[in-house]
Amino acid sequence: MKPWLLKFWNDEEGLGTLEILLIVAVLIAIAVIFRKWIIKWFNDLIGKAGESFDKTGTDTEIKSPT
């Protein structure tokens, strides 16, 4: 039993996949925990970009060169 346990403990096959899955799980958990803050930040960012675009006074209409 002990040799099998040592072999299992030292076996690194598939370890990269496990690490990636753990990182993804942590990122998803962080996103779920801070989802309200992230949504508010994103909406504020888009709102500021829209206000900045409106202040430039550029014509958003594309005119054909005819």
The model's pLDDT over 5-63, given as tens digits with 9 standing for 90+, comes to: 788 777 777 677 788 889 999 999 999 999 999 999 999 998 888 777 777 665 556 66
Q: Is residue 62 part of a domain?
A: no
Beta-carbon-side half-sphere exposure of residue 21 (alpha carbons within 13 Å): 5
Q: Is residue 65 part of a domain?
A: no
d(CA 46, CA 40): 10
Model's pTM, two decimal places? 0.50
Q: Is residue 51 part of a domain?
A: yes
Q: Is residue 15 part of a domain?
A: yes
Q: Is residue 27 part of a domain?
A: yes
Centroid of chain to Cα 14: 24
Number of domains present in the structure of the chain: 1
User: What pLDDT does residue 42 have?
Assistant: 92
Spell out the alpha helix ranges (H) of 1-66: 2-10, 15-33, 35-56
Structural domain of 32: 3-55
